[in-house]
């Protein structure tokens, strides 16, 4: 193909969950493809897409319709939200203006308190709806970031679209992952693959028989 757009997530910025790790690694693999193949390969980072399958609004409405309490992890948790139309436009704009190997991030304004969404939907329900706080789960942030630590927020072509440089990752590094390994070791390896620069990863590949280092 002439242009390849990888769909990433804001959880790839300073990732702390398996979803964030895997998305960040995919950004790096896409950057590697950009460096080694013809055509244009880039990524886009989404926030939560409203009314998409699995979105917070869809989940809350399903709980209300089933007569269940709305479950919110924490009263102060916030997330970046975007509409389906914004998501589609971002993909098309990325294909049009995105450059090899980078990740594009849409300026989605201020993050939204999930508790506010839950209370608004509860107020629109035909009957009383209880809101239950379940607590943050392992690997879940109270607030998401769009740009990771050490990344620069550059907007050379559009005032609402950031262009983030992504260091490439050689796909051979992924072959060292063992899905049957102890889960904690897998997570450590994922975190390490996200954090390493190209030079460090290349050095590690020479020591393929050494155990994977723990994430700092």
User: Would you name the residues annotated as active-site residues?
Assistant: 11
- Of 123, 211, 115, 107, whose CA–CA distance to 159 is shortest? 107
Measure the CA–CA gap between 57 and 191, rounded to whole angstroms. 30
Count CA atoms closer than 13 A to 163's CA, side-chain side: 16
**Using an 8 Å Cβ cutoff, are 10 and 45 in contact?**
yes
- CA torsion angle 72 74 80 82 (round to 10): 10
Question: What is the widest separation between alpha-carbon atoms in the chain?
Answer: 63
Per-residue CA distances from 151 to 86, 126, 213, 214 (Å): 23, 46, 23, 23
* Helices 56-65 and 114-124, packing angle to 10 deg: 30
Alpha helices (H) in the chain, listed in sequence order: 18-36, 56-65, 84-97, 114-124, 183-195, 198-206
């Amino acid at each position: 193909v002439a242009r390849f757009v990888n769909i990433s997530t804001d959880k790839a910025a300073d990732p702390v969950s398996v979803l964030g790790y895997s998305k960040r690694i995919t950004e790096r693999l896409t950057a590697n493809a950009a460096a080694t193949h013809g055509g244009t390969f880039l990524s886009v980072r989404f926030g939560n897409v409203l009314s998409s399958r699995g979105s917070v609004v869809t989940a809350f409405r399903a709980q209300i319709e089933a007569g269940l309490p709305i479950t919110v992890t924490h009263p102060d948790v916030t997330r970046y939200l975007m509409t389906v139309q914004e998501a589609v436009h971002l993909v098309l704009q990325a294909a049009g203006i995105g450059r090899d190997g980078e990740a594009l991030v849409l300026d989605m304004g201020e993050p939204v308190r999930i508790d506010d969404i839950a209370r608004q939907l509860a107020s629109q329900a035909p009957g009383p709806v209880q809101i239950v706080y379940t607590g943050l789960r392992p690997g879940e942030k109270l607030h998401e970031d769009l740009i990771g630590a050490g990344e620069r927020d550059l907007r050379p072509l559009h005032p609402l679209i950031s262009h983030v440089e992504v260091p490439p990752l050689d796909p051979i590094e992924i072959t060292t992952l063992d899905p049957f390994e102890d889960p904690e070791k897998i997570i450590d390896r994922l975190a390490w693959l996200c954090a390493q620069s190209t030079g460090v990863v290349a050095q590690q590949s020479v020591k393929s028989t050494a155990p994977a280092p723990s994430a700092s």
